[in-house]
Amino acid sequence: MKVSKFGGSSVASAAKFKQVAQIIQADKERKMIVVSAPGKRYADDTKMTDLLIALAGKIQLGEDYVEEFGKVIDRYREIVTELEMSEEIITEIIDNIDSLISLHKNDPFRLLDCLKASGEDNNARLMAAYLQHLGEEASYVNPKEAGIFVSDEPGRARILELSYEELPKLKEREGILVIPGFFGYSEQGNIVTFSRGGSDITGSIVAAGVKADLYENFTDVDAIYSVDPRLVEKPCEMKEVTYREMRELSYAGFSVFHDEALEPVFKSGIPVCVKNTNNPKAKGTFIVSKRKVGDQPVVGIAGDKGFCNIHVDKYLLNREIGFGRRLLQILEDEGISYEHTPSGIDNISVVMREHQLTPEVEERVLDRIQTELEVDNISIERNLALVMVVGEGMNSSVGIAAKATEAFAKAGVNLEMINQGSSEVSMMFGVKADALEKAVQALYNTYFNKMYSISYSSVK
């Protein structure tokens, strides 16, 4: 049995609904369907979630929200009309949104969260109705009914373990089950959303909960590429990638997969297949526990901008026990998370996402470091990018670092930092943000383009 999740672009219009239905009908194993809210139909289109956020905004301001409400309903109505379905489902959706508004109108934060969740919720109702319309035995399953219980943290819910006791019961139900992604219910009965892109999380939880044979993740690309196609032209596809590799890639700028979504399937060892709704015959990319490394130790390259580096100098720093801990404590007090802390004998650097350092936070942090740690010098380097080379075969392969650094040197990219030694599947490089494209292209040429390839294997 397969759990199949369809992302926003796969359920954005009537035409897409037809494609999805065909995919579901083509394989009887596709019994549990998780859907996102309608995504963009064209480049300038507005996603359903954003229409719902706009609606919530108007209500919060106490302003008239007829227009925004209308836009939401029109997106659903267009799908229903084109699919020649009964208007009944639209009445159901209107009632649902109305009841959310009257229930939460005095709690703007909760209202926003529920309205956002309704995008997925009502789209699941619509998909179930459409499958019934096509003659399939299909039913909408509310996350509460399914047993998706989460922590009561709107916008960043975490799954509660008790869900995994409830979810297996879904297998007893007949027909195709359509479950909305993106949210669950708190134990108090509140609707609570995961972080954005969280339909992937729902799909993964359901797949783990029912012990599916495969978790299919339908999106709009034939496969996951070895590198972001915005950085390198026509990069090669990944046939197989491990959970660990995928997680490292997602982290450093790969937007294909939601970072957190792989945890439930990873823990249950359920393979994932990323497939294309528009071209379901393409084999897609399999995300698995283990893969044969073969002659390709590196599976992908990712890069992301928006990092900065706080650099601290203090003579004889390395003899001061507790210095690093006290530095990290200051950052922790400000709620700052960091990526990496390269260190020297008399200095230490902390690399972090730049957006965390607002002017006020920066002033407080620098002031505390200066006065509490009595440093000789402190400076911030901005506009950094991190580049990750990822692959299960890296740890055992002599020369991986050599190839990377040689590629950078030949491309004239100066390395601001190298972080290698903890992860067995990745190597991290810091470069200036404006060198990111050049750096990624150089690495891609080295690892994936046979024309540029150099081998160190003969000397081992």
Candidate segments 63-71, 83-91, 128-136, 316-324, binder of a second copy by CB under 8 A: 316-324
Separation CA 422–CA 265 (nearest Å): 24
| Min separation Cβ 146 and a second copy, Å | 24
Task: Compute CA distances 336 → 288, 331, 358, whole Å.
Answer: 33, 5, 11
For residue 111, give the nearest of 168, 170, 176, 193 by alpha carbon.
Answer: 193
Residue 337 in tokens: 């998370």
- In angstroms, what is the C-alpha Rg of the chain? 25
Nearer CB in complex with a second copy: 139/341 = 341
Cα–Cα distance measured from residue 72 to residue 85, given in angstroms and rounded to the nearest whole number: 18
Q: Cβ 233 to a second copy, closest distance in Å?
A: 22
Find the binding residues for a second copy in span 113-132 (CB under 8 A): none
* 456 lies in the site for a second copy, by CB under 8 A: yes
Using CB under 8 A as the binding rule, whether residue 322 contacts a second copy is answered as yes
Tell which one of 17, 194, 338, 447 touches a second copy (CB under 8 A): 338
Minimum separation from the CB atom of position 377 to a second copy (A): 11
Q: Distance between the two ends of the chain, CA-based, in angstroms?
A: 46
Nearest approach in angstroms of CB 342 to a second copy is 4
Q: CA-based angle 204:155:269, to the nearest 5?
A: 15
Q: Which residues are annotated as part of the binding site?
A: 5-8, 49, 120, 219-220, 225, 230
Using the rule CB under 8 A, which residue among 325, 355, 360, 450 binds a second copy?
325
Toward a second copy, which CB reaches closer, 74 or 332? 332
Q: Which is nearer to a second copy, 216 or 245 (CB)?
A: 245
CB atoms within 10 A of CB 255: 12
Q: For 226, which DSSP code?
A: S
Residue 19 binds a second copy, judged by CB under 8 A: no
Contacts of 437 by beta carbon, 8 Å cutoff, 6+ apart = 231
25 near a second copy (CB under 8 A): no
Residue numbers belonging to the annotated binding site for substrate: 49, 120
Q: How far is the CB of 266 from a second copy (least distance, A)?
A: 8
Torsion (CA) 237, 247, 44, 223 in degrees, nearest 10: 20
From 106, 360, 412, 450, residue interacting with a second copy (rule: CB under 8 A): 412
Question: In the beta sheet, which residues pair with residue 3?
Answer: 32, 215
- The answer to whether 284 and 275 are in contact (CB under 8 A) is yes
Residues 6+ apart with CB under 8 A from 324: 341, 343, 348
User: Using the rule CB under 8 A, which residue among 36, 193, 419, 446 binds a second copy?
Assistant: 419
351 binding a second copy? (CB under 8 A): yes
Name the residues that contact a second copy, by CB under 8 A. Answer: 244, 247-248, 251, 260, 263, 266, 309, 311, 315-316, 318-319, 321-322, 324-325, 328-329, 331-332, 335-349, 351, 396, 398-399, 401-406, 408-423, 425-428, 430, 456, 459-460
